């Protein structure tokens, strides 16, 4: 009796291995193999102990042995969090997408597969469902898309800028997934507004660009929040007390005289 058990224990595992090693994934899935081989993930397929398809689909020899009848991990029926965890198992390291789980996108229930598809490779710079990142963003952010249609806008629709000039799709330490804190995201391109100036317009420094401007698009000149510059100024400043008796029209166009409205090195009143 004891001898029989020993025989089973010693022989059975060897027999199993010899008879039931599953065929390689690509022998049954040549199409997927070809797709992945065209992506950055091709590096995962190189053998040398690299995880191959299993890096994403897990180890389940029964799947191949049963000719696909035993299910294998295929990202189906999972929560966004579970999908993200699967991808982040590798993407905590290079190329890393740090902070994704804390991002507005993750909080809003998004997962990697709503923007990326590991099997579809249309852009060499990133694995995306759509080749055009801006279109991808605007497919969900329709109100932002509408803002970029307004008369004055950063030329995102024209292709001069992309959402990623200002935003980080995987989240950042800043509000609104912005790439920089405060106005630094603007200074990347509008350096001349950075200062420091001998005479700062206190509000620009303390409250920032968004006090007077909108970032995407506006019906108003210069992406301003108000149609009339005057009303914008008067929301903080009283009308000139010392000019109260003068014909008011002369003073309507505030920035005609206060030209250096973002700060000046020459005039405390921001004249030319």
Q: How far apart are CA 98 and CA 180, in angstroms?
A: 15
| Binds ligand HEC (CB under 6 A): choice among 78, 99, 197, 213 | 213
Q: How far apart are CA 134 and CA 163, in angstroms?
A: 6
Torsion, CA 256, CA 258, CA 264, CA 265, rounded to 10: 90
- Per-residue binding string, ligand HEC, 125-164, x by CB under 6 A, is xxx-----xx-xxxxxx--x---x-----xxx---xx-xx
CB 250 within 8 A of CB 258: no
Touching ligand HEC, residues 19-58 (CB under 6 A): 22-23, 25-29, 32-33, 36, 40-41, 43-45, 51, 53-57
User: Applying CB under 6 A, which part among 1-9, 11-19, 178-186 lies near ligand HEC?
Assistant: 178-186
| Binds ligand HEC (CB under 6 A): choice among 6, 7, 202, 219 | 202
Q: How far apart are CA 251 and CA 230, in angstroms?
A: 9
Q: How far is the CB of 173 from ligand HEC (least distance, A)?
A: 13
Q: How far is the CB of 148 from ligand HEC (least distance, A)?
A: 6
Cross-strand pairs, 224: 213
Residue 171 interacts with ligand HEC (CB under 6 A): yes or no: no
Q: How far is the CB of 7 from ligand HEC (least distance, A)?
A: 31
| Binds ligand HEC (CB under 6 A): choice among 172, 215, 217, 220 | 215
Nearer residue to ligand HEC within complex by CB, 11 or 234: 234
Touching ligand HEC, residues 54-83 (CB under 6 A): 54-57, 63-64, 67-68, 71-72, 74-76
**Got the DSSP string for 65-96?**
HTTT-S----STT--HHHHHHHHHHHHTSSSP
Nearer residue to ligand HEC within complex by CB, 16 or 203: 203
Touching ligand HEC, residues 1-20 (CB under 6 A): none
| Binds ligand HEC (CB under 6 A): choice among 13, 18, 237, 247 | 237
Touching ligand HEC, residues 103-122 (CB under 6 A): 104-105, 108, 110, 112-119
Number of residues that make up the chain: 272
Torsion, CA 174, CA 177, CA 87, CA 142, rounded to 10: 170
Residues in binding contact with ligand HEC, number by CB under 6 A: 125
Q: How far apart are CA 149 and CA 140, in angstroms?
A: 16
H-helix or E-strand spanning residue 218: strand 217-218
Q: How far apart are CA 163 and CA 31, in angstroms?
A: 34
Among 107, 138, 118, 112, smallest CA distance to 52 is for 118
Residue 264 interacts with ligand HEC (CB under 6 A): yes or no: no
């Amino acid at each position: 009796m004891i001898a029989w058990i020993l025989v089973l224990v010693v022989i059975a595992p060897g027999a199993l291995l010899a008879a039931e090693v599953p065929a390689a994934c690509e022998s049954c899935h040549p199409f997927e193999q070809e797709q992945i081989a065209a992506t950055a993930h091709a590096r995962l397929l190189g053998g040398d102990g690299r995880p191959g398809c299993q890096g994403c689909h897990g180890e389940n020899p029964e799947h191949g042995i049963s000719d696909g009848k035993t299910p294998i991990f295929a990202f189906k029926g999972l929560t966004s969090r579970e999908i993200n965890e699967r991808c982040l198992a590798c993407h905590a390291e290079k190329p890393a997408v740090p902070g994704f789980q804390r991002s507005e996108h993750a909080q809003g229930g998004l997962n990697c597969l709503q923007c990326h598809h590991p099997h579809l490779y249309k852009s060499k710079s990133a694995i995306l469902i759509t080749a055009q990142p801006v279109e991808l963003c605007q497919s969900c952010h329709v109100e932002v898309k509408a803002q970029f249609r307004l008369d004055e806008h950063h030329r995102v629709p024209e292709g001069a800028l992309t959402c990623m000039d200002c935003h980080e799709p995987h989240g950042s330490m800043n509000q609104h997934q912005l790439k920089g804190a405060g106005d630094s995201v603007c200074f990347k391109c509008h350096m001349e507004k950075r200062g420091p100036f001998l005479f700062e317009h206190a509000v620009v420094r303390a409250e920032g660009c968004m006090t007077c401007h909108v970032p995407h698009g506006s019906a108003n000149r210069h992406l301003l929040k108000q149609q009339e510059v005057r009303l914008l100024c008067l929301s903080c400043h009283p009308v000139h007390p010392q000019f109260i008796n003068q014909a008011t029209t002369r003073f309507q166009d505030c920035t005609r005289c206060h030209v250096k409205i973002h700060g000046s090195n020459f005039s405390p009143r921001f004249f030319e």
